[in-house]
């Protein structure tokens, strides 16, 4: 597979990343799947090749408007931000943060969000409920460099089911977007592993405070 410099650390730590690894499901022939239409791609096949994307496309709109549909009449997402700095062990030989660290960044913000909402790991453990991730997605835009400061924001988006829909953004110190993404967690019985159909009391307490404006 051809690779192009995208300002991201590739899976081989070279600073290059396969196009479909970063912009999946965008295809090199200019076609896309249903998630990203319409997207225009122009590739200059030189050593300094870059991908140019139509900023009016759904690919860019979704990072502005969020990944999950907002339900009319429900509260705004609850958000928590944490500040980070790229450490030596998180960068490759060129000083670029490895893209595989971003799930860890998301998790750190998600853990703080859980504490704020009364949905921490300990809260789940104490009530014999588990919240496994069933979907994880990340879009990369700009690289992070060694020793660079950045903020990670996790936002819990309202839904009426026994699940947690969380959106993430990684913002560089200059205010530009490094990455966005989302996770979906289904709530399960800690003893049987069965997916819960009705929302447990733990989640309902969170929603009650959420509606009352105590979490914003």
Summarised one tens digit per residue, pLDDT across range 49-80 is 333 344 444 545 555 578 999 999 999 999 99
CATH classification code of 70-211: 3.10.129.10
Break the chain into its structural domains and give their ranges.
1-65, 70-211
Reported as a single tens digit per residue, the pLDDT across 26-45 is 333 343 333 333 333 333 33
SS3 68: coil
Confidence of residue 48 (pLDDT cuts 50, 70, 90): very low
CA distance readout (Å), 164 to 19, 159, 161, 167? 30, 8, 8, 10
**pLDDT score recorded for residue 63:** 54
Task: Check: pTM over 0.85? Answer yes or no.
Answer: no
CA distance 204 to 194: 19
- Give every CB contact of residue 196 below 8 A, 6+ residues apart in sequence: 129, 162, 186, 187, 188, 189
Cα dihedral across residues 12, 138, 176, 100: positive or negative:
negative
CA distance 19 to 9: 12
Reported as a single tens digit per residue, the pLDDT across 99-156 is 999 999 999 999 999 999 999 999 999 999 999 999 999 999 999 999 999 999 999 9
Nearest to 172 by CA among 148, 203, 207, 206: 148
* CA geometry: angle 6, 81, 132, nearest 5 deg: 80
**pLDDT score recorded for residue 27:** 35
């Amino acid at each position: 597979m051809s690779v192009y410099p995208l300002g991201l650390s590739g899976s081989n730590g070279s600073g290059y990343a396969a196009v479909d690894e970063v912009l999946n499901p965008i295809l090199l022939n200019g076609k896309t799947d249903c998630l990203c239409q319409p997207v225009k791609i122009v590739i200059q096949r030189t050593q300094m090749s870059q991908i140019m994307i139509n900023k009016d496309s759904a690919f860019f709109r979704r990072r502005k408007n969020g990944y999950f549909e907002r339900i009319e009449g429900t509260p705004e997402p609850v958000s928590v931000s944490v500040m980070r700095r790229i450490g030596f062990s998180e960068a490759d030989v060129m000083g670029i943060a490895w893209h595989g660290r971003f799930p860890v960044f998301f998790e750190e913000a998600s853990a703080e969000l859980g504490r704020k909402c009364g949905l921490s790991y300990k809260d789940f453990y104490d009530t014999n409920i588990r919240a496994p991730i069933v979907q994880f997605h990340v879009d990369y835009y700009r690289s992070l460099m060694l020793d660079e400061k950045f903020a990670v924001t996790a936002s819990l988006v309202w839904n009426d089911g026994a699940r947690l829909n969380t959106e993430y953004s990684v913002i560089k110190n200059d205010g530009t977007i490094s990455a966005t993404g989302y996770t979906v967690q289904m709530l399960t019985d800690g003893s049987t592993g069965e997916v819960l159909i009705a929302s447990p009391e733990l989640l309902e307490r969170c929603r009650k405070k959420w509606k009352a404006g105590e979490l914003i």
